[in-house]
Amino acid sequence: MQIKNDLTAAALQPKLDRLWQLSGEKIHLINKEYDPAKGSPVFTVQGKYTTRGWTEWTEGFRYGAEVLQYDATNDDAFLAMAKANTVKQMASHVGHFGVHDHGFNNVSTYGNLVRLMNEGRLEENEWERNFYEIALKLSGAVQARRWTPIKDGGYIYSFNGPHSLFVDTIRSVRALMVSHLLGHSLMGENDLKTSLLERGIMHAISTARYSVFYGEGRDSYDLWGRAAHECVFNVNDGNYRCPNSQQGFSGFTTWTRGLAWAMIGFPEQLETLPYFSDEELAPFGGREAVEAIYLKAAQATCDFYIANTASDGIPYWDTGAPQIHKLGDYTTRPSDPYNAFEPVDGSAAAIGAQGLLRLGKYLTDKGQTEAGNRYWQAGLTVLNSLFEEPYLSTDPTHQGLILHSVYHQPNGWDYIPEGQSVPCGESSMWGDYHAREVALYLQRIIKDQPYYSYLGAVKA
C-alpha cells in the first residue's frame, strides 16, 4: 500500500460524520426489516442481512453497534435499543460453551455498556452495573474453559475442537482479561481456581508463537508477518503439527481477515500490560519478555499487511489466492472490488485499520516516533479509502454499512451479483461493527475525548 503521510486524523472527521449518519440509518433499517427469530444476522445477500447456521458469533456486533452509535452521536434512542436488546437477546451468549467468540459477543455489548457507565455517560446504577459485570465475569470463565494444554503453554481452542487454535481468538481473549480485572476466576473440580489472566496470556503467547510467521527458525522458508488462520496440534502429546485454514485458501497463504484479527489483537494486549503487576507477569518471563512477544507479532502482521495490500489500503481476501497472480502487481494500484479474479475484503480493512492505529499510538507513546508514525499514517490511509465509495454503503435500501466484505470464499457462501465473477457489493456484521469501532476510536482522539479501550469496562 502507498501510505499517505500528509493525511491528518482531523481531515477524516467529515467522513466520520457521514459514516455515523449512514450507520444510524442502517441500524434502523435492520431493526425494521430483520426477523430475529431467524437467528443472528451474519452477512447480506442483495443488500439484506441473512443468517448462516455455523455458530452464533455475530449477534453481539449487531447490538454492540447500537451502543457505539449512541457513544458517537449522543442519540438516546440507540442507547435504549442497546439496553433492551442486550437484556433480551444476549444471555445465551454468556453461557455458550460451544464457541471461542465471547470477546466478540459479550465485550461488545455488556462491556461497552458498563464502559459508558464508568465514563459517566450512563447514570450510575448499582443493579445495572452488577448485571453487566456478572455477565462479563461469567463470559470470561466460560471462554477460558475451552482449553488445550500444549508442551509450552496452552490455548483456547476453536469450535473445530481441542486440536484447533484460531488466530481470530486473539481479539476474543479480551473476555478473559476483563473478567480477571473484575476479580473473577475459573472454578473447577474440588474448587480448583484457575487464573483467567494466566490463560489469556498463555493463549496470546501461543498465538504469537504458532499463528504468526517471522521468516526465522521454524519459519525460515516463510515471510515476516504472514499469519495462518488455524494451527493444528496433536492433543495426545501437545505437539504442534501444521498450519491450516478454514476460510483462507490454505495454511501456507494468508487469509487477510485472520491477519487483521492479529493486527488488532496484539496491540490491544500490549495496552493491557500496565494493568497487571510485575508479580502477575513473572511466570511468563516478566513484563519485558511478554511485551517483546506481543510487539513482535503486532509489528510483523502490520508490516505484512502494508506490504501485501493494494495501494489504497484495502486488501484482497487472501494474499495467495489461486487467481490473484492474474491481477499482476496489485499492490501498486487501488483495489478493484469488481475485478474478474479474486474478491477484496472490506471487513479485513476495517479490522486491520484499528490495529495499525493502535500500534502506531503505542509506539509513539513509547518514544518510537518514526515507527509509530508509519503505522498511524497507514491506518489513516486505510480509513480514507474505506469510508467513501465504493466501500461505504450509501444505498438507503442496503442494510450494510461497509461493502465488499467476504465471509467464506472456500465454502462459496458469498453472493456473486449477476454479471460479476467474484463476490462483491455485500456487507457483514463484523465488518460493519469494526468500521464503527475504529471510527469511534479515531473520533475520540480527534476530539480529545477519553481513549477508547475495551478495558474501559473495568472501573478504575
What CATH number should be reported for the domain holding residue 438? 1.50.10.10
Ranges of the chain whose pLDDT falls below 50: none
Whether 5 is covered by a domain: the verdict is no
Whether residue 425 lies inside any domain: the answer is: yes
Residue 290, domain member (yes or no): yes
**Confidence (pLDDT) at 437:** 98
The answer to whether 30 and 399 have CB atoms below 8 angstroms apart is yes
Q: Any long-range contacts for 68-77 (C-beta under 8 Å, 24+ apart)? A: 68/112, 68/433, 68/436, 68/437, 68/440, 69/20, 69/23, 69/24, 69/27, 69/436, 70/116, 71/112, 71/116, 71/121, 71/440, 72/20, 72/436, 72/439, 72/440, 72/443, 73/20, 73/24, 75/24
Does 4 map to a domain?
no
pLDDT digits (tens, 9 = 90+) for 47-97: 999 998 677 889 999 999 999 999 999 999 999 999 999 999 999 999 999
Assess if residue 98 is contained within a domain.
yes
- What is the per-residue pLDDT for 428? 97
Q: What is the pLDDT of residue 346?
A: 98
Positive or negative torsion for Cα 31, 383, 367, 283: positive
Residue 170 located in a structural domain: yes
Residue span of the structural domain in which 252 resides:
10-457
Instruction: Say how many domains are in the chain.
Output: 1
Backbone angles phi, psi at 192, to 5 degrees: -65, 125
Check the CA dihedral 305-306-308-311 and report its sign: positive
Encode pLDDT of 267-284 as tens digits.
999 999 999 999 999 999
Alpha helices in 273-366 (DSSP H): 278-281, 287-307, 346-365
What pLDDT is recorded for position 105?
96
pLDDT (0 to 100) of residue 36: 84
2 in a structural domain: no
The whole-number pLDDT of residue 394 equals 98
Asked, for residue 313, whether it belongs to a domain, the answer is yes
Strands 48-50 and 164-166: unpaired
